[in-house]
Structure formats: C-alpha cells, structure tokens
Structure 1
Amino acid sequence: MLGVVDETTSRRFQVTFDCADPARMAGFWAQVLGYVVQPPPAPFASWPEALAAWGVPAERHGDASAVVDPEGVGPRIYFQRVPEPKVAKNRVHLDVRAAPGLAGAERMAALEAEAARLVAAGARVLARCAPAPPLESGHLVLADPEGNEFCLD
C-alpha cells in the first residue's frame, strides 16, 4: 500500500530552523553540536560556485545553510531565511546532552562551563533549573543568537 511505512523502519530526518541569518545560525549550532557546516557537493569547491552553477541569483546565496554531523550519525540541521522575526516561545526545542553521566553539583558545574562557552559564541542563559530531590538532574535553558530556546542537560 502506498504511503505505509513498516513500523520497524526508521526514517532519516532533518531539523529546520526559520531564521534571519542562516550563515550565523549554522556557525553557532555547529559549535553547539560539534557539527560542521555542510560542504558543497562534488565537484564544486564552494557554495557560491555551486549556487551560481545552479542558476541561483547572487542575492539569494545567503538564504539557507546547513550543518551536519561529521560522523554521519546525527540529523542534518537546516537554516532557512524567513522575513518575519521570532515572536513566541518555541513549541519544540533541542536538548543538548552536555553532562552525560554526571549528577548534582558536578553536573551543574559541567553545564555552567558549557553555557559559558556558548555565551561567548552568541547564546544567552535564560534559566537555571537546579537539581531537586529526588532527581539530581538539573539543566540550563539558553537561547541561540536569534532567541530560539534550547536546553543543556
């Protein structure tokens, strides 16, 4: 039957961000995730070369960017320029695992250190949610350079 997917089959996906500055956002999220800005396809040496060959007008060359997991495991993250600004809280956000296996004060110290690195890259810290018994898994809420919320946990 057309359109039916076997429930044992996983699907590849990408996460898409609407934004004002795709190149800036790609650079920021590459730092957050340990990804790289997606290189142009062969045989092109650069994105401007590829886009020109495909007939994309020069004024549209900055309309999109993407980052990819250099190990090919994680999803592609795509950034597309949109004219309107972000106006409300995200309904979906990324949780970035920055302190796996740590708990309590050690976990929060690791999260704070990662937050400081990301603030230097353009993030803002929005909230600190300290560990509370019975759980010892606090987290930090941050915003990327365009205000999209994400968590360090």
Structure 2
Amino acid sequence: MTNRWIGMTIDCVDVARVAGFWGALLDLPQLPSRPGWVYLGRTGGPQPRLNFQPVTEPKHGKVRLHLDVGVEDIDQGIAQVILLGGRFTGERHDYDEGVVVVMADPEEHEFCLVQHY
C-alpha cells in the first residue's frame, strides 16, 4: 500500500474570500463542493486539492503547517499576493539556493513564496 498526499483543508470564516484568493494565486478551478465549503482542484489532479472549511472562530496564533508556493520572481509574487488581498509579513530569508518570504492570506494563514535560483 502506498500513501500519497491528496489535499489540504484550510479553516476559514469567509470561505469564498479565502478560496478566491488561493484559486487566483494558484490558478486552480473551483469545483462542486459540500454546502458552505469550497474545493479547488481535482482529487487525483496534478496538484493536491485545497478544501476550504467554514468555521466560526478566526485564526489565533501562528499556523504549524503551511504551504510553500514556488514563484519565478519573488518581487512579482509578493505584488500578486498583495493585489489579491494578502500581505507580506516582513519576514524574508535569503539562501544560496534561493529566497523565501513569509506571506499571509486574507485571514492571516501564513505561507511561503519560494524562488529557487
């Protein structure tokens, strides 16, 4: 038996807003979903599916698991996230193999933009 990663579920208060942000950032289609939920991408597709689950309480504290999003140009990636309603946290790490910046989506879920050299 082989296990594989098929998706990730993100809790959010405003499901449509957060799913819209991620759908635009990753160019993933919205698919039929359970009432109140939004699914991006297909089960068995080329990328794991993202599921957005409605919750009543906002996020508190730093997330312990986050997405890394590969970009060709870090400055353009930052600008795109901000244009879509996310924000740059101010945290940047420059390494020999590339650069990583910590971003946040519209409900403050942290994630990294990664540009490899």
TM-score by length of 2: 0.86
Choose between structure 1 and 2: higher helix proportion: 1
Alignment of 1:1-153 (within 5 A): 6=1, 9-38=2-31, 40=32, 61=35, 63-68=36-41, 72-99=45-72, 110-132=73-95, 135-153=96-114
Aligned residues: 113
State how far apart, in whole Å, the 2-side matches of 1:130 and 1:75 are.
Answer: 26
State how far apart, in whole Å, the 1-side matches of 2:40 and 2:107 are.
Answer: 17
Aligned twin of 1:56: none
| Offset of residue 11 of structure 1 | 2.8
Unpaired runs of at least 5, structure 1? 1-5, 41-46, 52-60, 100-109
Choose between structure 1 and 2: higher strand proportion: 2
State how far apart, in whole Å, the 2-side matches of 1:86 and 1:30 are.
Answer: 20
State how far apart, in whole Å, the 2-side matches of 1:151 and 1:130 are.
Answer: 10
Report sequence identity in percent: 37
- From the superposition, tell whether residues 111 and 82 of structure 1 become closer, same or farther in structure 2 (CA, over 3 Å): same
TM-score by length of 1: 0.67
- From the superposition, tell whether residues 73 and 148 of structure 1 become closer, same or farther in structure 2 (CA, over 3 Å): same
SS in 2 for 1:131: strand
State how far apart, in whole Å, the 1-side matches of 2:65 and 2:94 are.
Answer: 23
Unpaired runs of at least 5, structure 2? none
| C-alpha RMSD over aligned residues | 2.0
